[in-house]
Structure formats: C-alpha cells, structure tokens
Amino acid sequence: MRPVALEVAWAVQEELRQRAEEANQLRRKQLERAQYEADLAQRRYLAVDPANRLVADSLEAAWNERLRTVADIRRDIDAQSRADAGALDHQQRAEIGALAGDFPSVWRDPNTSDRDRKRMIRLMIEDVTLLKGTEITMHIRFEGGAAKTVQLTDWMGRRTPAGVIAEIDRLLDQHPDHEVAALLNERGFLSGDGNPFTREYIGRLRRQYSLKSRLQRLRDAGMLTLREKARELGVTTRTVKKWRARGILEAMACDRNAYVYSPIGPIN
C-alpha cells in the first residue's frame, strides 16, 4: 500500500485538476454568452435599413466589438488550457512522489506554511476520537482505512500555569493581545508547551479560559467604536481618525491599529 503521504500528494493533484476543470467550464460558459451576443449583434446589423447609415454604422461597430470579445475569450481559453496541461508534468509528478515519500521533511520544511500543514492533515485524516482522563488517548483514522492510537501522558504538564493565566487576565486590563504577549516574553514566561507567547496564542488562551479581550473590557467601560464616535460627532470616520492622530480626541488602543474612543460626557 502506498504511504499515506503519497495519498495526500495525489489528492492534492486531483484537487488541482478539478479546480482547473471548473475554471475551464466557467470560461466556456463565458464564451457561449459572448458568442450569443455576437450573433444577436449580427442579426441586428443585417436587419437595419442600409439607407440609415448612422444606425447601420453603430450596429456594425457593436457587432465588431462582440466579435473581438469572442476572439479574446477564445485566446484566453487556449492559453489557460496549455497552462493547465503543463501544470503537473512528469518531472513535477516525480517531485511530488519524492516529497510524499518523506512526509516528515515536507512537514518540517520552513517553506511549508501552517495553512498547508492544516490542509495536509485534513486530507490525511478521516476522523479523530479523543478520550480525556488523567491522560489523553487519541484514536486516529486515516483516509484509506489505516488507524493509529496515540497517548499523551503528560498533557497536564503542557497546560499554561494558572499563575500565568491570572497575569494575562490582569495585563488585558491595560494591553491588547500583542502587547500582552510581548510583556510576558520580556519577563521570561513560557507557554504550556514551552514556547514564547504570540498574539494568536494569547487569543486562544482568552477563548479557552473565557477571559475578556481588551476591546470587550473597554466597551464594558463605555468606550465607543470608530463608527459610533463618528455618529456621535456627526462626522466621517476618516475625520475621527485624523482628530485622534492630532490628539484632539482621546482614544485607547484595543488592538494593532484599532482604537476605541471616549464618549462625550462621563464614562459609565
């Protein structure tokens, strides 16, 4: 039986082929529509009284324009068909097979994005069953019928310590996620898996532990969004941004390049 990674590679290839076919069908529908409009323009031109030169010239110009559109679409179809045909030549197929045969290298390759890794997992795995107790047992069923059971005996040790969660909750009173991550890293804190904190990781911890975001906390305190502040003042959002940049309006950062604004009058 071919390796699971090889099955993934061919699944990717098949998906690309299907996408190319769908795009080709769409282009052919466009061609059919353009040809219909060209035929209609021709009938209109042939039906006009030749003595009416202004109308005849206009209809002839419209017909010629439709014919040029048809020709352009035909050229696009031919060019794209040649490109699709060469998208996976024999050498590329061999490279896919070689990469698939060494799945760990593909996975660890710095050029492989997290998005691609998630896509690889989705193509590989049929389903996963988690049994949680003092240890976590994962029953993994792969595409093609293969199965594997994995046990994590130290998963509790990988959880972010309660003290760090409490510190994150405290920092969120004054800082957005990316600043919280930077402050924790400056102080030498590490996540449950031993890695530095990132903005995305802080966001996941907030959702996991039901911590309010910086934006939620400021909104609870009565701060206004950009659109709300613009409505309050009767100006555009662009004007609000300008006034904030000039220090005319008081604002507080709730994320990168995102701010909330103090209302007119006291904050609740």
Instruction: Give residue 2's pLDDT band: very low, low, confident or very high (50, 70, 90).
Output: very low
Domain ranges of the chain: 4-96, 159-211, 219-261
Q: What's the pLDDT at 175?
A: 92
Only one residue has tokens 């972010």, namely: 160
Q: What's the pLDDT at 3?
A: 44
Instruction: Give residue 4's pLDDT band: very low, low, confident or very high (50, 70, 90).
Output: very low
Assigned token pair, 89 = 């030549």
Q: What's the pLDDT at 18?
A: 75
Greater confidence, 151 or 86?
A: 151
Q: What's the pLDDT at 186?
A: 92
* Local structure of residue 258 (DSSP, 8 states): E
Q: Helix 90-101 to helix 4-47 angle, to the nearest 10 degrees?
A: 150
Assigned token pair, 29 = 């529908």
Q: What's the pLDDT at 24?
A: 80
99-142 pLDDT, tens digit per residue, is: 555 566 666 766 766 767 776 676 667 788 877 666 677 788 87
| Angle subtended at Cα 243 by Cα 241 and Cα 247, rounded to the nearest 5 degrees | 115
Q: What's the pLDDT at 225?
A: 92
The proportion of the chain whose per-residue pLDDT surpasses 70, expressed as a percent, equals: 72
Closest CA to 206 of 243, 247, 171, 251: 171
Q: Is the pLDDT assigned to residue 167 strictly greater than 80?
A: yes
Rg of the chain on CA atoms, in Å: 30
Q: What's the pLDDT at 86?
A: 58
Q: What's the pLDDT at 224?
A: 93
Q: Helix 226-233 to helix 237-245 angle, to the nearest 10 degrees?
A: 100
